[in-house]
Amino acid sequence: MYEGRVTLLDHPMVQHKLSILRRSDTPTKLFREIVGELAMLEAYEATRDLPMEDVEIDTPMAHMTARQISGKKLVIVPILRAGLGMVDGVLEVVPAARVGHLGMERDEVTHVPRSYYAKLPANSDQREILLVDPMLATGGSAIMAVEFLRKAGVKKIKFLNIVASPEGIKALLDYDPDLHIYTCAIDERLSEDAYIIPGLGDAGDRIFGTK
């Protein structure tokens, strides 16, 4: 149904790391490290189609026409808090990227997100955005983030996620027809409390050790 708009990273290394992430006995330090590693692998996949140009260079042996990435630098935008855990991993692949921040928190009862902070780098409307958040549950937070970015004039957005629910994927892709989602897993469903089942629990709490 969403053919071509969702990339599922089914590589064995990704799936192995994800299984460690899901385990309830994985400690905070390891959890944080694996979120970073998965973010790096997703960034590698998500930057596959970056525009390139020819460049004339000299190797120690000869002159040649080589290739380099063209265009403006990317912007990484984490949805706080949990998205912060993915930023360093993405920066491993695109070290010169700019970083914006969107602070959002779901209401524990209604599950509707509340925005509490927003800061984008200059000229973000002329740059490709990698929006990052490890969890896509109801889709409310990601939709609010995409709405903000579109209103700011951003044209190209890729959403880098680790675990998604089918409900969240549908809601987000229905909301924005031009968005592409990269994820490591599409799980079974949402719980009554809007947590992903089987999921990995509360990503923010597990990254920062707050529970």
Residues lying near ligand URA in the complex (CB under 6 A): 82, 135, 137, 195-196, 199, 202-204
User: How much is the CA Rg of the chain, to the nearest whole Å?
Assistant: 18
- Catalytic site includes residue 183: no
Would residue 176 show up in a list of annotated catalytic residues for this protein?
A: no
137 vs 61: CA distance, rounded Å: 54
Closer by beta carbon to ligand URA, 135 or else 144: 135
Residue 81 interacting partner from ligand PRP, ligand URA, none (CB closer than 5 to 8 Å by kind)? ligand PRP
Given ligand URA, ligand PRP, none, residue 111, with its beta carbon under 5 to 8 Å by kind, binds ligand PRP
Nearer to ligand PRP, 79 or 157 (CB): 79
Can you list the positions of beta strands (E) in the chain? Answer: 6-8, 52-58, 63-69, 75-80, 98-99, 101-106, 113-119, 129-132, 135-136, 157-160, 163-164, 180-183, 185-186, 189-190, 196-197
User: What sign for the dihedral angle of Cα 38, 7, 147, 201?
Assistant: negative
Could you tell me the two tokens for 88?
A: 């360093």
Residue 141 interacting entry, from ligand PRP, ligand URA, none, C-beta within 5 to 8 Å by type = ligand PRP
Q: Which residue is nearest to ligand PRP (CB)?
A: 204
Give the residues lining the site for ligand PRP (CB under 6 A).
79-82, 104-106, 111, 113, 133, 135-142, 168, 194, 203-204
Residue 199 interacting entry, from ligand PRP, ligand URA, none, C-beta within 5 to 8 Å by type = ligand URA
Whole-angstrom distance, CA of residue 20 vs CA of residue 160 = 19
Rounded distance, CA 67 to CA 55, Å?
A: 6
110 an active-site residue?
Answer: yes
Residue from 110, 174, 189, 210 carrying the catalytic annotation: 110
Tell me whether the omega of the peptide bond preceding residue 81 falls within 30 degrees of 0, making it cis.
yes
Question: What minimum distance in Å lies between the beta carbon of 169 and ligand PRP?
Answer: 10
By beta-carbon proximity to ligand PRP, the closer residue of 72 and 114 is 114
Q: Nearer Cβ to ligand URA, position 73 or 111?
A: 111
* 115 CB-near residues (< 8 Å, 6+ apart): 102, 103, 104, 144, 148
- Is residue 5 flagged as an active site residue? no
Listed residue (181, 97, 114, 173) closest to 148, CA to CA: 114
The entry of ligand URA, ligand PRP, none near residue 18 (CB within 5 to 8 angstroms by kind) is none
Annotated catalytic residues are 106, 110, 202, 205
